């Protein structure tokens, strides 16, 4: 018999988010480990806030949000808050109820800056990294492209030696990168052409054998003037690179 869509919505629906998440979903293991570390760091979070006043977004939810943004390559905090409103998996990961919904993007950004600047946030990521090393979730292996070692965050690549597409945000690429506290991935490149788009300049480069590498920058008078055929040194922070699907 043909089924029909129910046009009249239910007045009351009970949704158990935990039951909606498959028992073997990878985020279950990640959540359990993140919660373990956050519980350990709870006394440090207490020192960040006053005893009275309006409650903030829980620091645990702010830090786990950063984990989600890294795992799912979310481009911005505003985009993350928009997706969180309808993503039941993410709400479950954050221990938020369905009727709580998402965060206000402005409040989320303000609260995040405060927590991420604290030592507790640094301790969280250090603890997560140490735990992943103990359990064999990370290694010192690298992805390669044209024989060049590139450090990147693995998204869907799991096996050493697989060919993969590496995604790098074009606005994060710099010419003649300056060494800072960030871990810079530097490579030689050849300038191929320029694409002018108003006040934005896209520069196509030949990098590691590929002629489709694009760098984006402001078309400002202060920028360094490059010419086609010029050999340059470019770089980006390692955390801005993602190893995507195998080729």
pLDDT value for 247? 67
CATH superfamily assigned to domain 143-246: Nucleic acid-binding proteins (2.40.50.140)
pLDDT value for 4? 67
Tokens of 138: 């990370």
pLDDT value for 177? 78
Cα–Cα separations (whole angstroms), residue 158 to 16, 30, 62, 149, 164: 32, 16, 28, 16, 10
Tokens of 91: 């709400």
pLDDT value for 168? 83
Per DSSP, the three-state class of 225 is coil
**Rounded CA gap, 217 and 16, in Å?**
46
Residues 157-174: pLDDT tens digits? 777 666 777 788 888 888
pTM given for the model: 0.55
pLDDT value for 82? 93
Burial of 213: CB neighbours in 10 Å, binned 0-12, 13-18, 19+: buried
Domain regions of the chain by residue span: 17-134, 143-246
The half-sphere exposure of 64 on its side-chain side, counting CA atoms within 13 A, is: 26
Q: How do the pLDDT tens digits run along the chain, 247 residues long?
A: 665 666 666 666 677 888 888 888 888 989 999 999 999 988 888 888 888 888 889 999 999 999 998 888 787 889 999 999 999 999 999 999 888 889 999 999 988 888 888 888 888 888 888 887 788 776 555 444 455 567 777 777 777 666 777 788 888 888 887 765 566 778 888 999 888 776 778 888 888 777 888 888 877 766 678 888 899 888 888 778 887 777 6
The full DSSP string for 21-46 is: S-TT-HHHHHHHHHHHHHHHHHHHHH
pLDDT value for 237? 82
């Amino acid at each position: 018999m043909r089924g029909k869509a129910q046009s009249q919505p239910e007045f009351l629906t009970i949704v158990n988010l935990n039951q909606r998440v498959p028992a073997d979903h990878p985020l279950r293991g990640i959540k359990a480990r993140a919660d373990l570390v956050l519980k350990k760091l709870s006394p440090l979070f207490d020192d960040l806030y006053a005893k009275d006043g309006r409650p903030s977004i829980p620091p645990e939810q702010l830090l786990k949000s950063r984990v989600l943004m890294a795992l799912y390559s979310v481009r911005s905090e505003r985009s993350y808050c928009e997706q969180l409103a309808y993503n039941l998996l993410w709400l479950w990961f954050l221990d938020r109820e369905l009727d709580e919904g998402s965060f206000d993007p402005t409040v989320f950004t303000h609260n995040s800056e405060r927590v991420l600047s604290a030592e507790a946030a640094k301790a969280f990521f250090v603890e997560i990294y140490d735990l992943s090393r103990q359990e064999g979730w990370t290694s010192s292996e690298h992805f390669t492209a044209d024989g060049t070692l590139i450090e990147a965050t693995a998204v869907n690549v799991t096996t050493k030696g697989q060919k993969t597409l590496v995604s790098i945000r074009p606005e994060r690429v710099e010419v003649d990168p300056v060494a800072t506290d960030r871990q810079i991935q530097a490579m030689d490149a050849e300038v191929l052409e320029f694409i002018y788009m108003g006040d934005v300049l896209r520069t196509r480069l030949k990098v590691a054998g590929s002629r489709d590498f694009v760098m984006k920058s402001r078309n400002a008078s202060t920028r360094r003037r490059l010419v086609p055929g010029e050999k340059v040194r470019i770089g980006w922070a390692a955390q801005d690179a993602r190893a995507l699907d195998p080729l």
